[in-house]
Structure formats: structure tokens, C-alpha cells
Amino acid sequence: MSYRSLKIMAILIPPLLIGGFELIRHHALLHKLSMATGNYLIILLTLAVSYVFSTWLFKVIEEKNQRLATEREMRAIYEERERLAKELHDNIAQTLFLLKVNLKKGKINEANGLVNSIDSHVRQAIYNLRMNPTDMISFPKRVEHWLNEWSTVSGIETKVSIQMVEGYFTPSEEVQLFGIVQEAFTNIRKHSKAKTATLSLHTSNDGWEMSIDDDGIGFSPKDVKFNQYGLMMLKERVHKIDAVIDIHSEGSKGTKIQIKGRGK
């Protein structure tokens, strides 16, 4: 039912019912009901009609709003998939070009590294596309499954601790959080030379916090810029979910990424 139809019904139903009762009362029941009794009846009828109609109307509006919210969330998920597809295309195209150059120069080790990079990007894309947005798989399970695959490909041991209430994040927020995890761990694989990486995510009424740590080579404070090591993408994603990010790293002492958001 359209909002226009609801508007017309909201305008017509109450006055027609109440007005119809008044007409019947004055023409057919005038000598059977006293004025006081009729006034009490019209009050009760008005309350009954208002309660029943408003209850039904708000239920319809709530269902429409839920459907619209679901459609918006699904659109956000598919838009994120399109962005990942474009990013995958650009990365693979660039990597293949570098692979061709290295093969011509006989740089076999560099070429092997580029092949592994392509393999990692393809695996990540396959995982993202394999996950149906309508599947009832919890966010923690999706993250754990992806990190298990990431650990197998990268050879880096992972430790995961996720404690969150189901439904704490909206689907679009989960998309951004999942992208943050993927981006951060991709950076770890590419740059950190770490042996172990840790992810923790904890939520509460007061707020939520995500921490991503590695025991890699780290980088000096002067290099902590959001236009390096893929950190610009992290900043953009964090901004989309109205959170703040802090990065702490020292040479040979690993890197720690902390992201904090407000409570729900």
C-alpha cells in the first residue's frame, strides 16, 4: 500500500465512521438514546476507532520503514562489492604489468612474489563474492572464516577474540568493519614480515573497540601517514562508521591499530 493511500485513509476513515454514527444517532436513535448517553458513546467510539486505526497505521508504516532500511543496507553491501570488484581489477591489472616487466628482466623472485599477490587478491575476491548477503551467517563467523583462509595463504598465525551482541552493528556497518579487517591484514601480509597477528573486537553499551596487532618490523613515527601502506583506505572506512582510529608503531616492535566507536 502506498503512502498516498495511507494518507487518504487517514483522512477519510475516522470522520466517516464517527460522522456516520452521529447521523444514525440523530435520525434513528434520537428517541432511544439520551443526549448524555450518546455523548459517552461517541467518546468511546472515537477512542476505539482511533486506537484500532492508529495501531494498524503505525504497523504498516513500521513494516514499510523496515523494508526500506533493509533495501538500503542491501544496496550498501552490493555497492561495497562493486567497489571491491573495481579495486581487484585495478590491482590485478597493475600487478600483471609489473609481473610482465620482471619476467622480461629475469627477476624470478620478484615475479613469484607478484604471483602470490595476485593469488591473495583473487582468494579475497572469491571469498567476498561467495558470501551471500542474505545468508544468516554471523559477523564473527565470517571474520573468523576469512582470517583462517588468510592465515593459510600468508603463513602468519592469527589469534581472534570477538565478543559482541548479535545485531549490534547494522549490515552496512558490518561491511565497513569487514573491509577494515581485510585492509589491515592485507597490509600486515604485504609489509610487516610478522609471525603472529591478533584481532580483538569487543562491544558494550558505552561503545565498541577493535584492535589489530602484529609482531612485525613496524615503521617509524614519521612514516605513519594515511597515504601510505593502504592506511588511507582504513581512514575512509573508519570515517564511514563514525569512529576514530589510532595507529602506534615502532621499528622492529610491530604495529597496533585501535579503532573506537560510540555505543548503540
Q: Tell me: pLDDT of 260 over 80.
A: yes
Domain tally, the chain: 2
Any domain includes 112: no
Among 47, 67, 87, where does a domain finish? Answer: 67
Q: Which pLDDT does position 214 carry in this prediction?
A: 95
Is residue 6 over pLDDT 70? Answer: yes
d(CA 214, CA 191): 11
Supply the range of the domain harboring residue 20: 3-67
Residue that is last in its domain, among 67, 82, 103: 67
- Comparing 69-78, 103-112, 175-184, the range with the smallest average pLDDT is 69-78
Between residues 151 and 96, the one the model is more confident about: 151
Band (pLDDT 50/70/90 cuts) for residue 129 is low
Residue 80 pLDDT level (bands cut at 50, 70, 90) = low
Mean pLDDT across the chain, nearest whole number?
Answer: 80
- Please check the confidence at residue 81 and state whether its pLDDT lies above 90: no
Domain of 158: which CATH number? Answer: 3.30.565.10
Q: Tell me: the pLDDT tens digits for 204-237?
A: 989 999 999 999 998 765 655 444 546 777 888 8
Task: List, for residues 145-195, the tens digit of each pLDDT value.
Answer: 889 988 988 899 999 999 998 889 987 788 889 889 988 998 898 888 899
The answer to the question of residue 264 being in a domain is yes
Pairing of strands 157-163, 196-204: parallel
Q: Give me the pLDDT at residue 162, please.
A: 95
Indicate whether 247 belongs to any domain.
yes
Whether residues 164 and 61 share a domain: the answer is no
| Ranges of H-type helices in the chain | 3-27, 35-104, 108-130, 139-154, 171-187, 231-240
Residue 35 has pLDDT above 60, yes or no: yes
Q: Is residue 163 part of a domain?
A: yes
| pLDDT at residue 102 greater than cutoff 50 | yes
Question: Higher-confidence residue: 67 or 194?
Answer: 194
Confidence (pTM): 0.58
Q: Residue 21: what residue type?
A: F
For residue 182, being part of any structural domain is answered with yes
Is the residue at 203 inside a domain?
Answer: yes
Look at residue 78 and tell me if it is in a domain. no
**Cα separation, 127 vs 91, whole angstroms:** 17
Give the Cβ contact number of residue 255 at 10 Å.
Answer: 25
Q: Is the pLDDT of residue 117 over 70?
A: no
Give the DSSP letter of residue 135.
Answer: S
Range 95-98, long-range pairs (CB < 8 A, 24+ positions) = 95/121
State residue 136's pLDDT score.
Answer: 57
Domain membership of residue 18 (yes or no) is: yes
Last residue of a domain, one of 67, 83, 104: 67
In sequence order, what are the residues at sequence separation of 6 or more whose Cβ sits closer than 8 angstroms to the Cβ of residue 221? 249, 250
Query: For residue 97, which of 83, 111, 116 has the smallest C-alpha distance?
Result: 111
Q: What is the pLDDT of residue 244?
A: 95
Whole-number percent of the chain with pLDDT over 70: 83
Q: Cell numbers at residue 110, please?
A: 620478484
CB count, 10 Å around CB of 44? Answer: 10
